Amino acid sequence: SSDVCSSDLMETTILDELLKIPADATSAVVMGVTMQVIDPVQAQKMLDTDPEDKHVHECVLANGRFLFVCENGILRSLYKVSRDPR
């Protein structure tokens, strides 16, 4: 969605930080939040809980697929979606 964390600056900052994470990383800390790895099924469940895309945001980048949750412009949680093993 375009209003990630209701601020373009916040979105840019998060994207910049996500892009610094190595593609094979299983742990990282972004803006004080520890990244967790989840599988595609868990990711879809998270997205399904927020059909209006208000809190759960998805980013597909060159180094991976990420989901993050923001509240009031603050990053609350960050997930990296593991590659489908198939």
- Per-residue pLDDT band for 23 (boundaries 50, 70, 90) equals very high
Residue whose entry in the numeric block shows the structure tokens 């520890």: 34
The whole-number pLDDT of residue 12 equals 80
* Tens-place pLDDT, residues 1-19: 444 444 567 778 889 999 9
Taking CA atoms, 32 is separated from 16, 24, 42, 44, 68, in Å, by 14, 20, 23, 25, 13
* Tens-place pLDDT, residues 47-73: 999 988 788 999 999 999 999 998 888
Taking CA atoms, 68 is separated from 51, 85, 86, in Å, by 14, 22, 25
The whole-number pLDDT of residue 4 equals 45
- Report CA dihedral (1, 20, 67, 35) to the nearest 10 degrees: -150
